[in-house]
Amino acid sequence: MENFNRLNDLYFKKLLGDKKRKNLTLSFLHGVLNKDDKNYFTDISFLDKDNEPLTLDGKLSKLDIRADLNDGTQVDIEVQVCPFKLMAERSLYYWSKMYSEQLEKGAEYKKLKKAIAINLLAFDYLEDEQDWHNIYNLLNVKSHKKLTDHIEIHFLELPKFTLKDMRKIRVSEAWLAYFSGKYSKEELEEIAMTTPAIKEAVEFEDTFLQDKIERRAYEQREKAIRDYYSYMNAFKEEGLQQGLEQGMQKGLYQQAIQTAKNMLKDKVDIKLISKYTNLSVEEIKKINEE
């Protein structure tokens, strides 16, 4: 399928968030975390989130795969497709929850294990960094010595990624090449010669697209993303990005109502409509009932 989006939340979750293909998840983690044949994870257990609703707001732009590794390490993989300025703060927040949830009340701190947050971004985020892969720890500002190895936050920026040598490709580069969508099937086949997991990923992709139900669900999610961008662009063009409070004072209240009606017809989440029209949830519910 031309222009297939491998960061689509439904597809990504099925590819790397399913225990049936945990070998692919381990391959991805080993590459990103630079593990070798002497220091690697042997197993992974996923925190089941299949029952969470896929809404237009959070799940449109963010996907998380939570997992425990065989040595107790906690991992959170976040996929962000829409530009988000506070990515660092949000990643730190999710990391802190992951880290603190390890201990039950009264448990000893020595039971805490390393927690790793991996952010796969479809946009440029770290403006002062040239590399596509940047890792952050907790360091002394003078000596740069690490306080603890329990915190590790990764940012992988797809727009910055480019393969330098197809013959000397690392596992992490193979996965970024796959998710970037910049390389043809023929090039991915060449990459798969050095990274077998990519071959399996491409084969699963073909199977996924041949399934009519899966493909339909994928296309619906892609439409939701396109509609989201369309709405955001419309608001920017009309000067509504800063909020509609001043706009409504200038006679744009009816325009906000009409926008809400259009978004309701497209089955946009009520909370998201409220956020971008400045109408209350109660007002939007009343409009929906009418």
d(CA 50, CA 17): 10
d(CA 122, CA 119): 10
d(CA 149, CA 275): 39
Whole-angstrom CA distances from 250 to 233, 244, 246, 283, 284 are: 21, 10, 7, 19, 20
Contacts of residue 146, Cβ cutoff 8 Å, sequence gap at least 6: 137, 138, 139, 140
Tens-digit pLDDT profile for residues 253-264 = 677 787 888 788
23 pLDDT tier (thresholds 50, 70, 90):
very high
In the numeric block, which tokens belong to residue 104?
């039950």
Contacts of residue 140, Cβ cutoff 8 Å, sequence gap at least 6: 146, 147
- Closest alpha carbon to 266 in 237, 233, 236, 225: 225
d(CA 145, CA 58): 36
On whether the CB atoms of residues 67 and 45 are closer than 8 A, the answer is yes
d(CA 145, CA 179): 34
Q: What percent of the chain has a predicted confidence (pLDDT) above 90?
A: 48
Which is more confident, 268 or 180?
180
On whether the CB atoms of residues 223 and 216 are closer than 8 A, the answer is no
Angle ∠(25,26,27) on CA atoms, nearest 5: 90
Tens-digit pLDDT profile for residues 178-210 = 999 999 888 999 999 989 999 999 999 999 999
